[in-house]
């Protein structure tokens, strides 16, 4: 039973080619001698150029190695060597005391490879799958040891071995009570020995940096732009893996909750003839036959047309595009929209009821089923659990403005809230009602899109609402205008050309029920629920005004 080690030394530089094993069993014996000769020749060159104790102790020929078939690089075109047993793959996260004594087959990323500090003829590998890590111990031949130590960090390997109990729990792996005694080790894909960024560096918290600086040994920092340039490495961190698993759960719960309430999923076009929201923040492009087109700013028009088509309740998960020059922490030029539209039977608060139930269910689900992911995020980006009420607080726009005025914040009459006002109102609501999630309804009509229904009692206001999370607006919703003449009038007032939305306007001339809906950005929900400082962390490959790759 291994008791080594609590801390891993740096991985040796790769530079020694490893033996390889053919997957054609019938030719193995014939090729073994040839392969061994090539292996021995390859070892002699680096040993001569860069002599070291390891090279001096290295055997002269691989044919003397009885374990030659148990390790090596997989040949191009192969997935596995034939020597790998035909047995189920094990998940690192499932290894525990109950697995002790079992043989396991694991494919994972080599997060670290190093020689034992106490026993020189033992090598250790730290393997990673998603959020799980395990220690592996290798005590093979000198050639097998040399092969293991040549593996660069982040290489993809296959390990076959036996699960063994540890004398003492490990602190640097998530699997702490057992390790894997390696019998076979194959490299499926070698990473570049000099990666542009380190997964370890990319996963450090502010507390780690502060602690290191206090000791006078500052650690390398990975800036945001560098992270995004090498995103495929950046998202390998526990935080990166956790964020997108949380995002997946939000999207799944959105679909599940609405489907259970008779909503059906639809897919609307992203190429449209004109702006769907009005204004200039739209991507324009050339279409066929000299026509121009736009990328949809939202599925708004077409999800309403789906209601006109008799679908009653619809939702969509799809990309939306905003050509805004907003280099802020919460804006993207492309993001995933979660949109819904539904018939209204009595009052537009029916839409608020759906939003209320949906997001309380999402929050509850994440807290109960994503504990491990949230803990991983919290280690790098500490945040407080979201405060919310079982029945979401609803305030009128006038009530919200009054709270701001009483706190000394002046707001322009009949205007939308700016970012500072949103944050201040969020602070006031939390202090007074002990919640960070609330609905603000009955906005001024002038602050809403052209298709928003005016209030019957006071046309200066609208049947609309916004939803706030941790002091930021995340959801906009409203009852829509379903009377074509009023809709056309409002569109003209917003400077929207009738030719580009004629089919949309005409849809309401064929008989349309009162309806409303809402839309929210998936990335922004994840950012705010998890207390992230930038929405780009919640976008797999973000697009902002400055970034179009990778």
Domains in the chain and their CATH numbers? 25-189 (2.40.50.140), 199-234 (no CATH), 238-538 (3.30.930.10)
Are 466 and 443 in contact by the 8 Å Cβ rule? The answer is yes
3-state secondary structure 247-268: HHHHHHHHHHHHHCCCCEECCC
Residue 414's pLDDT is what?
Answer: 87
Average pLDDT of the segment spanning 276-292: 83
Interatomic CA distance for residues 27 and 430, integer angstroms: 72
Q: CA-based diameter of the chain, in Å?
A: 93
Are 429 and 388 in contact by the 8 Å Cβ rule? The answer is no
pLDDT band at 77 (very low <50, low <70, confident <90, very high): confident
Residue 19 has pLDDT above 50, yes or no: no
CB-facing half-sphere around the CA of 204: CA atoms within 13 A: 18
pTM of the predicted model as reported, rounded to 2 decimal places: 0.86
Interatomic CA distance for residues 340 and 236, integer angstroms: 33
Interatomic CA distance for residues 283 and 292, integer angstroms: 11
Average pLDDT of the segment spanning 76-96: 90
C-alpha 187: how far from chain center: 27
pLDDT digit string (tens) for 95-139? 999 999 999 999 999 999 999 877 778 999 999 999 999 999 999
pLDDT band at 14 (very low <50, low <70, confident <90, very high): very low
Interatomic CA distance for residues 14 and 189, integer angstroms: 13
Average pLDDT of the segment spanning 414-427: 94
Residue 16 has pLDDT above 90, yes or no: no
Catalytic residues: 322, 324, 330-331, 473, 476, 524
Nearest to residue 455, comparing CAs of 432, 476, 478, 439? 478
Q: Which DSSP state fits 329?
A: S
Residue 520 has pLDDT above 80, yes or no: yes
pLDDT band at 280 (very low <50, low <70, confident <90, very high): low
Residue 176, class by beta-carbon neighbours within 10 Å (0-12 exposed, 13-18 middle, 19+ buried)?
A: middle
């Amino acid at each position: 039973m291994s008791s080594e080690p609590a801390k891993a030394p740096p991985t040796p530089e790769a530079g020694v080619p490893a033996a390889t094993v053919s997957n054609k069993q019938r030719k193995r014996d014939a090729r073994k001698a040839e392969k061994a000769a090539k292996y021995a020749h390859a070892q002699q060159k680096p040993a001569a150029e860069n002599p070291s104790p390891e090279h001096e102790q290295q055997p002269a020929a691989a044919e003397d190695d009885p374990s030659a078939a148990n390790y090596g690089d997989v040949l191009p075109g192969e997935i596995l060597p034939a020597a790998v047993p035909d047995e189920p793959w094990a998940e690192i996260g499932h290894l525990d005391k109950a697995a002790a004594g079992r043989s396991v087959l694991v494919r994972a990323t080599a997060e670290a490879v190093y020689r034992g500090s106490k026993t020189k003829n033992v090598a250790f590998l730290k393997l990673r799958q998603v959020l799980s890590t395990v220690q592996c111990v290798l005590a093979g031949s000198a050639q097998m040891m040399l092969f293991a130590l040549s593996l660069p960090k982040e290489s993809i390997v296959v390990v076959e071995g036996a699960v063994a109990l540890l004398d003492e729990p490990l602190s640097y792996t998530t699997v702490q009570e057992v390790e894997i005694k390696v019998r076979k080790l194959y490299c499926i894909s070698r990473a570049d020995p000099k990666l542009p960024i380190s997964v370890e560096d990319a996963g450090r918290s502010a507390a780690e940096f502060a602690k290191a600086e206090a000791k006078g040994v500052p650690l390398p920092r990975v800036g945001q732009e560098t992270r995004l340039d090498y995103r495929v490495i950046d998202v390998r961190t526990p935080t990166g893996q956790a964020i997108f698993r949380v995002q997946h759960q939000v999207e799944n719960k959105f679909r599940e909750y609405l489907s259970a309430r008779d909503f059906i999923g639809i897919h609307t076009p992203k190429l449209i003839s004109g702006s769907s929201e009005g204004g200039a923040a739209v991507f324009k492009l050339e279409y066929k036959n000299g026509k121009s087109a736009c990328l949809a700013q939202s599925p708004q028009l077409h999800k309403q047309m789906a209601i006109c088509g008799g679908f009653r309740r619809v939702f969509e998960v799809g990309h939306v595009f905003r050509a805004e020059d907003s280099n802020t922490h919460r804006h993207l030029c492309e993001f995933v929209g979660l949109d819904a539209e539904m018939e209204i039977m009595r009052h537009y608060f029916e839409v608020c009821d759906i939003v209320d139930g949906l997001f309380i269910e999402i929050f509850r689900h994440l807290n109960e089923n994503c504990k491990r992911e949230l803990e991983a995020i919290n280690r790098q980006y500490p945040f407080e659990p979201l405060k919310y009420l079982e029945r979401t607080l609803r305030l009128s726009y006038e009530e919200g403005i009054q709270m701001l005025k009483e706190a000394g914040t002046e707001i322009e009459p009949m205007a939308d809230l700016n970012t500072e006002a949103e944050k201040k109102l969020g602070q006031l609501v939390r202090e007074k009602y002990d919640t960070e999630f609330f609905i603000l309804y009955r906005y001024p009509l002038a602050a809403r899109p052209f298709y928003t229904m005016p209030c019957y009692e006071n046309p200066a206001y609208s049947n609309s609402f916004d939803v706030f999370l941790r002091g930021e607006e995340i959801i906009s919703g409203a009852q829509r205008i379903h009377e074509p003449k009023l809709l056309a009038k409002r569109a003209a007032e917003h400077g929207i050309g009738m030719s580009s939305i004629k089919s949309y306007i005409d849809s309401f001339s064929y008989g349309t029920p009162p309806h409303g809906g809402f839309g929210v950005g998936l990335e922004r929900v994840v950012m705010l629920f998890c207390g992230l400082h930038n929405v780009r962390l919640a976008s797999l490959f973000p697009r902002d005004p400055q970034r179009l790759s990778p």
